Amino acid sequence: MFEGSTDKFDFTDIEGRKKMGRNDEDGGCRMSGASGFLMVLLAIAIAVGVGLIVHFAGNQKELNCNCQCGPAEGVVTMAPGFLTETCKAKAVLGNQELCGLCPERTTTPSMSTTLGMRTASTMPNTTMPPTSSPHPITDTRLPTSVKPLHYELNLRPEMYNDKPETFTFNGTVAIKVECKSPTDNITLHIATQNLTTTPTVEASDNTEVSPVVLHTTRDVTRQFLIMTLDKPLVVGNQYVIQLAFEDRLSNTVLLGMYVSTYRDEAANMTKYMTATQFEPTYARHAFPCFDEPAFKATFDIKLERQPHIISLSNMPLVSSVTMGDGYVADHFDVSVTMSTYLVAFVFGELESVKNVTENNVLFGVYTTPQNINQTAFALNLGSRLLDTFEEYFNISFALPKLDNVGLPDFVYGAMENWGLMTYREVFLLNVEGVTTTYDMEFSAEVLSHEIVHSWFGNLVSPAWWDDIWLNEGFATFLSFLGVDRVVPEWGMMDLVNLYIIQPVMDVDSVESIVPIFREAYTPDQILALFDIITYYKGCGVIRMMWFFLGPETFRKGLERYLNEKAYGNGAHDDLWASLQTQAVNDGKTDFDIKSVMDSWILQTNYPVVTVRKVNGGLYLNQSRFLLQSNNNTDFAGYSWTIPFTYTTDQKLNYDQSANNVLWMAPNTQVYATDASISKMNGWVIGNIQHYGYYRVNYEQENWNALITQLKTDYTKIHVVNRGTLISDLWALFKAGQADLVTAWDMLTYLQYETEFIPWQYASSELVYPNNMLTRRPAYGNFERFVLSLLEGRSLNVSLNDNRPTQQRSLSKLIFSLSCRYGVPECATRAKQLFNDWKNSGTLIPPDVKESVFCRAIKEGGEEEWNYMYDVYLNGPAVEQAGALASLGCTSRAWIISRYLDYILDPSKIRKQDAPRAFTSLLRNTNAFYQTFEYILAKWEFIVVDYQLDVNALNTIVSTAAAGMFTEYEMKKIENWRDEIHPDGAANLSGFDVALNRISVNMEWHNKYYERVAQWLENYVGSGP
């Protein structure tokens, strides 16, 4: 499963993406960004609760991350799967940038968890019962006395009117089971379906009299259906359970079997589809079943539909028969043995394009008819990825076909249902003039992630959900590896660290974080496992293992594991055993995989290795890395088995392998010597290509030598290490383990840097200082500092840019920074691109469109603003959100004033867009105070007459606080809160978040402002 990524799925929403795009220099959601690191500390310290709720706006496909942030004693409310892992974790850490980009929809699924301790919650869905209690239960597993072998499933959705709230489905299921141990009851999963006939159990063996079902009971808490029989089943015999059921199709929660809605532009009407999302525990919401991953069986599926739509399932269609009532019954081939969570159906008006892969698999991409011309990328890349993974694992894809369906409404990013993968449309479709380089990379990553699950997850599934990190960590890592094999020129393996590992290392450096391997019993607990630690830290430790085993031992070990466990299940110890056998076969005997990996998956956090040069050798020490600790923090109890690597200015060896690993055992100090160290007169660098999931700290002399090297000839240091030197150093500085001057000094080498990766690390570190300095005297020097780094950069961008992707990404970043920090050429260039687009419809290169819009509005006057406003109101749907975001970029006070009035007039700005309109103005320094004062003056009207919902208000106030750092501003927010609700009855959590944020900002100013200002003065004064 690919967790929904808000930066991606809000495809046309420039503002939203700006705050969340993980390769955007604004870095709102990027974990390695400096933004809010102090805020992180404070947020953790006071256990700020953050709720994430995602809005789903039906036809408009406007899916946003919307956080409700508040001091709820560490409770995190989240809509699972709607959020990028990064986004989720960032919000957990109190990043209020993310909060409330759209109003809450009360029917969105939500769940509550705490960091480290799960608590109860309910699914606010009329079709689903509460699934948990105040005291979480642990006896949620089905009995193992019977084992399912085969399902015959018949399903019919009724969705053929214009009232989706009335849609239903009905069906029958016959489950053949085998008795494994004596029992006089059969227990399986069911959710809220009504049984429409009395269940029966029939003996398959003619010599046995079938048992009689005396009564059926439901255990609602455990979602069990218990059939009590008149006699015990005979061990070894087989029985068929017959059940008939019906239920409402969910039109609110996109889990189980649900309705998806879209606007058919050509027909000018709303249309409906039925789709499924069963992972992890929602197959039981569609049909009664043994809904645990280890209960694998075969599935014979029949789907009934009206003739004007099609149906799809995991297997190819075998026959279609018209029934007496005019419906058509589609009968699909019997599936391979698989888990219930991988079963899937889709019903709708869909069109497809297809390829046959090298190994004769029919690879299809399905969408609604209006999007079918956006499928070429997914079809071509996807089918090549399938070929690649067959070759990589040396195991054929198990099914004759693999369909990939873009769904208008989808709770996650994508889902690996075997043979019928489902995607949020934006991940599958590429639109000319809209799809950015980053979107394209991300789309490839998602396709690759789902396809590789066909082996890691589908062919071999976790024995229980606690090992879901094996599915997701491997799919995350292997998705990069797969794309790298198909399009090596993208350099995806160099991007794993930037996109995946550094973000989670920031999250993973607070005490309250969870480890990778966690117990889970209830559906809520299971859902909570799908988080950044599972996906991204999972990927990080797997990548480290890939390195220390060596790529080929790793690959052969996986092949061995998949063959040993094919069509079955595995736990992490099974995988370690397969890999260990392979390692021994390959002559690698200097490590025990289980003991190495247990230190990474069972402990929270990660180590920092401190390197000290002593007598011609290196002393290496490890300690638990935390951004903040206190007197009670346990450092001694945490230790890891670390595959340490290093090189020196004498060796410059960045192409290291398993043979170069220096193992650091837990709780031991290592002394390393080699000739290059004793000869070394410059620097040593640890963690080559950052293959290890740890940071490295050095003595001051070594940091200085590294900075000198970067400034004189940065090519002597690998591009990944150039990036992670910045992120390590800044993380160490934030943790009080490195010097401020050193951290800032390192960034000065960027004036020479020509690669995207180090630039992206650096620019994300500058986000928070930028926000803090923007209304302070030191900002002039800060601007001069950034401009000095940008001097002489080309701002040439073109629509059909065929340069390597990372060069395109760098151009995007440079263009954006240049526009923001006032490089004159950028204003000229933006204006020219804008005018060509406005006057003759020339497409703006998508990578720079956001910057161009914003700059054109900022530089322009009424004419430009009015034009953009017209695009917002009447332009193509894909341009509207971008237009809205840019309206807030204006620098004219009177236009700001008029726009503020427009926002509160629903005939001028759609009500759903009001919060975003306000927040885009609040992020514009020129509009900040005017907007804030306007909202303060009008709050009664906004709340009482305009009826802005409380979440939107929370969002606005917490956004406003991002730029505040004075007692006066704090007092204003406090007074405002007290005026709105003196008794504190309303859920004004955004105000608490805002106050926390201001106090963190104040702390930054107290602690760092003078020193940063001094550093900038020295730098600018002395010249770059």
Residues at the interface with Zn ion (CB under 5 A): 1, 472, 475
Minimum CB–partner distance for residue 294 and Zn ion (Å)? 18
SS (H, E, C) 76-130: EEECCCCCCHHHHHHHHCCCHHHCCCCCCCCCCCCEEEECCCECCCCCCCCCCCC
Minimum CB–partner distance for residue 427 and Zn ion (Å)? 12
- With respect to Zn ion, which residue has the nearer C-beta, 50 or 343? 343
Question: Residues 290, 189: contact at Cβ < 8 Å?
Answer: yes
Minimum CB–partner distance for residue 412 and Zn ion (Å)? 8
User: 394: which residues sit within 8 A by CB, 6+ positions away?
Assistant: 559
- With respect to Zn ion, which residue has the nearer C-beta, 441 or 472? 472
Minimum CB–partner distance for residue 378 and Zn ion (Å)? 17
Q: At what angle do helices 779-790 and 1010-1022 cross, to 10 degrees?
A: 50
Minimum CB–partner distance for residue 416 and Zn ion (Å)? 6
- With respect to Zn ion, which residue has the nearer C-beta, 472 or 511? 472
Minimum CB–partner distance for residue 61 and Zn ion (Å)? 22
- With respect to Zn ion, which residue has the nearer C-beta, 435 or 448? 448
Residue 1002: alpha-carbon gap to chain centroid: 31
Helical ranges in 522-680 per DSSP H: 523-528, 532, 538-549, 551-565, 572-585, 593-601, 675-679
Minimum CB–partner distance for residue 455 and Zn ion (Å)? 12
Minimum CB–partner distance for residue 415 and Zn ion (Å)? 8
- With respect to Zn ion, which residue has the nearer C-beta, 1 or 994? 1
CA-wise closest residue to 629 among 638, 641, 621: 638
Q: What is the DSSP-derived secondary structure letter of residue 456?
A: B
Minimum CB–partner distance for residue 473 and Zn ion (Å)? 9
Q: Identify the residue whose tokens are 């019903």.
A: 347
- With respect to Zn ion, which residue has the nearer C-beta, 407 or 661? 407
CA-wise closest residue to 880 among 916, 906, 842: 916
- With respect to Zn ion, which residue has the nearer C-beta, 390 or 445? 445
Report the C-alpha gap between 402 and 382 in whole angstroms.
10
- With respect to Zn ion, which residue has the nearer C-beta, 444 or 609? 444
At 381 the three-state DSSP class reads: helix
Q: Encoding tokens for residue 434?
A: 């809209």
User: 669: which residues sit within 8 A by CB, 6+ positions away?
Assistant: 619, 620, 621
Helical ranges in 522-571 per DSSP H: 523-528, 532, 538-549, 551-565
- With respect to Zn ion, which residue has the nearer C-beta, 472 or 879? 472
Is residue 225 within a helix (H) or strand (E), and if so which, with residue range? strand 224-229
User: 995: which residues sit within 8 A by CB, 6+ positions away?
Assistant: 961, 970, 973, 974
Residue 421: alpha-carbon gap to chain centroid: 18
Angle among Cα 501, 504, 505 to the nearest 5 degrees reads 80
Q: Identify the residue whose tokens are 């990939």.
A: 404
Minimum CB–partner distance for residue 515 and Zn ion (Å)? 19
**Alpha-carbon separation of residue 87 from 19, 20, 751, 1001 (angstroms):** 10, 7, 30, 21
Q: Which residues pair with 275 in a beta bridge?
A: 258, 346
Question: Residues 833, 861: contact at Cβ < 8 Å?
Answer: no
Minimum CB–partner distance for residue 132 and Zn ion (Å)? 24
Torsion angle, CA of 192/198/203/206, rounded to 10 degrees?
-150
Minimum CB–partner distance for residue 453 and Zn ion (Å)? 5
Report the C-alpha gap between 480 and 576 in whole angstroms.
22
Question: Residues 513, 551: contact at Cβ < 8 Å?
Answer: no
Minimum CB–partner distance for residue 283 and Zn ion (Å)? 17
Minimum CB–partner distance for residue 193 and Zn ion (Å)? 27
- With respect to Zn ion, which residue has the nearer C-beta, 1 or 848? 1
Minimum CB–partner distance for residue 279 and Zn ion (Å)? 9
Q: Is 161 exposed, middle or buried (0-12, 13-18, 19+ CB in 10 A)?
A: exposed
Q: What is the DSSP-derived secondary structure letter of residue 844?
A: P
Minimum CB–partner distance for residue 472 and Zn ion (Å)? 5
- With respect to Zn ion, which residue has the nearer C-beta, 446 or 486? 446
- With respect to Zn ion, which residue has the nearer C-beta, 41 or 475? 475
User: 774: which residues sit within 8 A by CB, 6+ positions away?
Assistant: 925, 963
- With respect to Zn ion, which residue has the nearer C-beta, 1 or 342? 1
Q: What is the DSSP-derived secondary structure letter of residue 338?
A: B
- With respect to Zn ion, which residue has the nearer C-beta, 472 or 484? 472
Report the C-alpha gap between 859 and 856 in whole angstroms.
5
Helical ranges in 455-491 per DSSP H: 468-486
Minimum CB–partner distance for residue 530 and Zn ion (Å)? 8
Minimum CB–partner distance for residue 222 and Zn ion (Å)? 26
Report the C-alpha gap between 530 and 526 in whole angstroms.
8
* Pairing outcome for strands 256-264 and 328-332: unpaired
- With respect to Zn ion, which residue has the nearer C-beta, 1 or 661? 1
Report the C-alpha gap between 175 and 240 in whole angstroms.
5
- With respect to Zn ion, which residue has the nearer C-beta, 75 or 407? 407
- With respect to Zn ion, which residue has the nearer C-beta, 164 or 538? 538
- With respect to Zn ion, which residue has the nearer C-beta, 7 or 13? 7
Q: Which residues pair with 213 in a beta bridge?
A: 229
